Chains A and B, each alone.
Chain A
Amino acid sequence: MAATQSADTVRTELLSRVLAEEVLDMPWLDRSAARSVLSAQGLPFPGKGRWQYSDLRALVEDAMTLEDAHEALGPVQNVEIRYLDRPATDAQMIELGSSDGVGELPLIDVNSLLFRSGTKLLADGNASLAAINDATGSVDRHLVSVVQGATLQLDERFESGNRVVLCRVRDSATLNYDLTMPSTDGVGYHCLVVWLAEDSSLNLRLASQGAQIRRSDIIVNVMGRNASATLSGGWLLENRDHLDTQVYVNHRIGQSRSEQSFHGVVDDQARSTFSGFIRIDRDANGTEAHLTNRNIALSPQARAHAQPELEIYTDDVICSHGATTGQLDDDSLFLLRARGIGEESARAMLTKGFLRQVIHSESGTALLSL
């Protein structure tokens, strides 16, 4: 009988291949930290824990095969843009390779080790950026800084590949982030990490379709008082689409606020996972954090897993979370049909209505044809 490879063997073998990968050598990039973290901690176990619903091996292998596919951005008012593949001084670019403070997310370290293209964006006024990288299918890394008091509107489109975007939102700054992920047959890992300083705010609006494998990690670290994070979004998966969305909101300090609302629709044999994690530290008194995730399965073969988690280390908080998975509401369907609207149209209207409640960006509305 042929023995199936154990998760441990897969993990070890995969790690040694990642570490042996020939990385693009750029003197101003220090990849050694990522290398030592990976060597010491290893990759997660495929098929377990946070990797229960996404094929870790496929995502890591994909990252090892991708080529550089970077497209330069045009000049943008109030944004300083630096590219990894152009000459830069150590001081300007070194931060790009750093994953300090990201926490235990090994796929970020894989990206740190392998990324071949990247940008560093500095917004120091009111600015609007239509893309981070228009190219698809690369391993890339981006660092976004919104300086004190500045406001940046950022639109990002991600299809496949391996991308990590690190955003630092300084005191009293605002980051409005519209992230759309169109349908693709490919494989993709996307990770967005945001640090919020005092009085700063993040408004993230996510809209996604499905992929063969798509894992999207969103990490928000609330580091300053009066900071607020509003995360909303939705997805519509069809055929055999897959989407695994994991959101971590870490309240490091009190008097801060976060609100998450995500709606997902799965049809045919599609699979979605949503894991929403809120952590409130011991010193984060006066935090208010809310999370809702609602899912609708349109077909009996479709699956939507929802997993909200709270970790609270102080009493003085207002916190709520809830997740549901169900079908379209019978009463609503009856009302529409009783007005002569055919069942199929009625279902389509209700599905769109369900997503419209959480899709607020123009790009998201267009992507999901709402």
Chain B
Amino acid sequence: MKLLELRDLAASVDEKQILNGIDLTVNAGEVHAIMGPNGSGKSTLSNVLAGRDGYTVTNGEMELIGTPVNGMSVEDRALAGLFLGFQHPIEIPGVTNMEFLKVAIDSHLIASGEEEMNTRDFMVQVRDISKRLELSTEFLKRFVNVGFSGGEKKRNEILQLMLLQPRLAFLDETDSGLDVDALQVVARGINEFRSDENGVVLVTHYQRLLNYVNVDFVHIMVNGAIVKTGDAQLAHEVEAQGYAGLGEA
């Protein structure tokens, strides 16, 4: 089943063309990695997909589980099954993590015609996921990402992923700024999440996350286009030769 299909996708930011015709298909059960140097358009792709203001699709098609998403609101894309993992999860003072997670899960449940989750079930579930991600339950009472270390912020992202169970997880440099221990915890979370029902796209600068998560496809993105696609071996080539060596390919 096709979870994501991008056909000749082009997009601009502030009238500057950043994406120049991207083709990408992600089927259920697959894990993809998109690698590329800084400025190649990886984060733009994430934002375009999520429907962020200021990012304009100038050409091509973008379908999420068979539905065209261009024109859909940010929240409707999320409710349709897209999860964007943030490179820099921002802090929201005054809003507790608990409240944020509860409203998020309830929004998903209500959108699919179900009842809000009762608080006890919610707590059991959130505590269980926190434990698996080695996050103290104390942090649930804290404001979203406020005073969290870099590793805690990323683990908090993975917690949201595991709680919301989207069909397609598009994780934008989730591995950046993590030490080895945190990287392993995050990778474990992604591995626990992946299933035959969902798809994962890891946007990353480095190969190191791929030491812990097995990927089916690696795409190399340069100047807003995918210039090469291969299997996990391609990531090792990047590590050895750098992007410059592949960009010409």
Interface of A with B (CB < 8 Å)? 329-332, 334-343, 345-346, 349-350, 352-357
Q: Is the CB of B74 within 8 A of A337?
A: yes
Q: How far is the CB of A233 from chain B (nearest CB, A)?
A: 14
Please indicate the chain B residues that have their CB under 8 angstroms from the CB of A355 in the complex: 94
B:70-121 near A, CB below 8 Å: 73-75, 78-79, 83-84, 86, 89-90, 92-95, 99-100, 103-104, 107-108, 111
Q: Is the CB of A340 within 8 A of B75?
A: yes
Which of B50, B86, B107 is the most central at the interface, judged by chain A CB atoms within 10 Å of its CB?
Answer: B107
Q: Is the CB of A332 within 8 A of B78?
A: no
Q: How far is the CB of B171 from chain A (nearest CB, A)?
A: 12
B:141-180 near A, CB below 8 Å: 143-144, 160, 164
A-B CB contact pairs (8 Å), 30 listed: A329-B90, A331-B90, A332-B90, A334-B52, A335-B86, A335-B90, A335-B92, A336-B92, A336-B100, A337-B73, A337-B75, A338-B50, A338-B74, A338-B75, A338-B86, A339-B160, A340-B107, A340-B164, A341-B75, A341-B104, A341-B107, A342-B75, A342-B107, A343-B75, A346-B75, A352-B95, A353-B143, A354-B93, A354-B94, A356-B95
Contact with A along B30-56 (1 / 0, CB 8 A): 000000000000000000001011000
Q: Is the CB of A340 within 8 A of B92?
A: no
Q: Is the CB of A353 within 8 A of B52?
A: no
Interface of B with A (CB < 8 Å)? 50, 52-53, 73-75, 78-79, 83-84, 86, 89-90, 92-95, 99-100, 103-104, 107-108, 111, 143-144, 160, 164
Q: How far is the CB of A197 from chain B (nearest CB, A)?
A: 34
Please indicate the chain A residues that have their CB under 8 angstroms from the CB of B93 in the complex: 353-354, 357
Given contacts A330-B53, A334-B52, A335-B89, contact A340 B104 (CB under 8 A): yes
Please indicate the chain B residues that have their CB under 8 angstroms from the CB of A330 in the complex: 53
Q: How far is the CA of A352 from the CA of B95 in the complex (A)?
A: 8
- Tell me the dominant secondary structure on chain A's binding face: helix
Q: Is the CB of B95 within 8 A of A349?
A: yes
Q: Which residue of A lies closest to B88 (CB)?
A: A331
Q: Is the CB of B94 within 8 A of A352?
A: yes
Q: How far is the CA of A352 from the CA of B99 in the complex (A)?
A: 12
Please indicate the chain B residues that have their CB under 8 angstroms from the CB of A338 in the complex: 50, 74-75, 78, 83-84, 86
Q: Is the CB of A340 within 8 A of B143?
A: no
Q: How far is the CA of A2 from the CA of B79 in the complex (A)?
A: 62
Q: Is the CB of A343 within 8 A of B73?
A: yes
Please indicate the chain A residues that have their CB under 8 angstroms from the CB of B73 in the complex: 337, 343
Q: How far is the CB of B150 from chain A (nearest CB, A)?
A: 16
Q: Is the CB of A349 within 8 A of B107?
A: no
Please indicate the chain A residues that have their CB under 8 angstroms from the CB of B143 in the complex: 353
Which of A330, A336, A340, A349 is the most central at the interface, judged by chain B CB atoms within 10 Å of its CB?
Answer: A340
Please indicate the chain A residues that have their CB under 8 angstroms from the CB of B79 in the complex: 340
Q: Is the CB of B164 within 8 A of A339?
A: yes
Q: Give me 9 other A-B pairs in contact (C-beta within 8 A), A338-B84, A357-B94 excluded.
A: A330-B53, A338-B50, A338-B74, A338-B75, A339-B100, A339-B160, A341-B104, A349-B103, A353-B93
Q: How far is the CB of A350 from chain B (nearest CB, A)?
A: 7
Q: Is the CB of B104 within 8 A of A339?
A: yes
Q: Is the CB of B78 within 8 A of A349?
A: no
Q: Is the CB of A349 within 8 A of B75?
A: no
Q: How far is the CB of B84 from chain A (nearest CB, A)?
A: 5
Q: Is the CB of B78 within 8 A of A337?
A: yes
Please indicate the chain A residues that have their CB under 8 angstroms from the CB of B90 in the complex: 329, 331-332, 335
Please indicate the chain B residues that have their CB under 8 angstroms from the CB of A353 in the complex: 92-95, 143
Q: Is the CB of A345 within 8 A of B103?
A: yes
Q: Which residue of A lies closest to B82 (CB)?
A: A338
Q: How far is the CB of A191 from chain B (nearest CB, A)?
A: 29
Q: How far is the CA of A169 from the CA of B167 in the complex (A)?
A: 61
Please indicate the chain A residues that have their CB under 8 angstroms from the CB of B53 in the complex: 330, 334
Q: Which residue of B lies closest to A263 (CB)?
A: B94
Q: How far is the CA of A343 from the CA of B73 in the complex (A)?
A: 9
Q: Is the CB of B107 within 8 A of A332?
A: no
Q: Is the CB of A332 within 8 A of B75?
A: no
Q: Is the CB of A340 within 8 A of B78?
A: yes
Q: How far is the CA of A329 from the CA of B93 in the complex (A)?
A: 11
